Amino acid sequence: MLFNKNGKNAALTVVCLGIVSLLSLGCNKGDESTTVTPTDEVVVEVDPGLFIQAGLAEPITKITKTLSDGTSAVCYKIVTNNTPTEHSVGPWCPTNITDNASKGGIWFEGGKVYDVDGAFVKNLATFYNDAVWKLYNADGSIKVTNTKAACEAAARPNVDAAYNNYCVECQPSYVSGLKKTFYIPVKPVKLSKSASIQGMGTVVGIAFNGVNFDPPAPTSAILGAHTLAPMDDAGGHVNTATGYHYHAATGLTKKVAQSDGHAAMIGYAMDGYGLYERLDASGNEPTDLDANRGHYDKTRGYHYHVASAGSNSFISSFRGAQGSFSVSF
């Protein structure tokens, strides 16, 4: 979680289930090993000056940390207050089946992005070909989690039965005082073999506003309880473990335009490689992306291009050794 509601470019949602309230995350070591190949003639370091100052809880500093492959490297310590300043947060759930798209967020299915307006909620039984779906009452009001306790009961793998057929919405006020700490290698370190994104508990990267990009949301668990957990137009939502975070890039976060027409930069992956939008200034996607969704050029070095918002992902795997991430209250 601006585009106008009738033409938004994407997003996805879902409550991240079962994440502990204090995380210290990185990928498993596995068979990762650090090697830099001769093809990396240009290796671009992380630029701390690109981060929005209002999103930082303290100045960015350098510190030596252990990376996901067990080696040590100088990392940037980036502590953020998890508050976007370049776009609004929410809304997520409409409150009545007559509400238009401005009253709700977005949902993704089959690689596409849908406005979560009242008509979409009303039509869920047809949309999913399942008559059990009915998130609204006889008077047209939509059942929405409107307290922290309700949010927590609905936003877990074993959804409380009382919240089946609910639109799940958690407010930023439920996690006031939350801070996030990212350790990202100043200079990316290429692995001999790409590292998979592990799923829940993993962080893909960081936007310039200090909010984390997360891996695919577990939609099957959400849908299994006949609940809907929309994202806002920026591709973000809130849970009480990690606060506000993104599951899709919709073009509403800070971007750094490239003078050569290349896709704009939107942040960094946890391995220090740059994250760029999917399409360039002419609306084209690179044709030479590798299995990670990355490629190399002599201006930006190796970097990633994020997937379409409807795909429920950013990148497919990490090319480099990742730093770590934690949350504190």
pLDDT of 191 strictly over 80: yes
Alpha-carbon Rg for the chain, nearest whole angstrom, is 20
Sorting pLDDT into bands at 50, 70 and 90, what band is 230?
very high
Which of 168-182, 190-204, 264-278 shows the lowest mean pLDDT across its residues? 190-204
Q: What's the pLDDT score for residue 57? A: 97
The three-state DSSP-derived secondary structure of the chain is CCCCCCCCCCCCCCCCCCCCCCCEECCCCCCCCECCCCCCCCCCCCCHHHCCHHHECCCCEEEEEECCCCCEEEEEEEEECCCCCCCCCCCCCCCECCCCHHHCCEEEECCEEEECCHHHHHCHHHHCCCCCCCCECCCCEECECCCHHHHHHHCCCCCCHHHCCCECCCCHHHHCCCEEEEEEECCCCEEEEEEECCCCCCCCEEECCCCEECCCCCHHHHHHCCCECCECCCCEEEECCCEEEECCCCCCCCCECCCCCCCCEEEEECCCCEEECCCCCCCCCCCCCCCCCEEEECCCEEEEECCCHHHCCCCCEEEECCCEEEEEC
Neighbouring residues of 207: CB distance < 8 A, sequence distance ≥ 6? 84, 213, 246, 253, 254, 266, 267
- Res 3: pLDDT: 38
Q: In the chain, how many domains are there?
A: 1
The pLDDT of 131-148, averaged and rounded, is: 97
Would you state the pLDDT for residue 27? 37
State residue 157's pLDDT score. 74
| pTM exceeds 0.85, yes or no | yes
3-state secondary structure 106-130: EEEECCEEEECCHHHHHCHHHHCCC
What would the mean pLDDT of 130-141 be, rounded to a whole number? 97
pLDDT at 11 over 50: no
Residue 34 reports pLDDT greater than 50:
no
Residue 37's pLDDT is what? 44
Mean pLDDT of the chain: 89
Say what the pLDDT of residue 158 is.
82
Q: Which two tokens stand for residue 218?
A: 């577990």
Task: Look at residue 36 in the predicted model and tell me its pLDDT.
Answer: 42
Residue 256 has pLDDT above 80, yes or no: yes
Percentage, residues of the chain above pLDDT 90: 79
Q: Are 318 and 197 in contact (CB under 8 A)?
A: yes
Per-residue pLDDT tens over the stretch 72-127 = 999 999 999 999 999 999 999 999 999 999 999 999 999 999 999 999 999 999 99
User: Which position has the higher pLDDT, 301 or 215?
Assistant: 301
> Residue 201's pLDDT is what?
67
Domain holding 10, by residue range, is 1-329
pLDDT value of position 259: 98
Q: What amino acid occupies position 108?
A: F
Q: Judge whether residue 21 has pLDDT over 70.
A: no
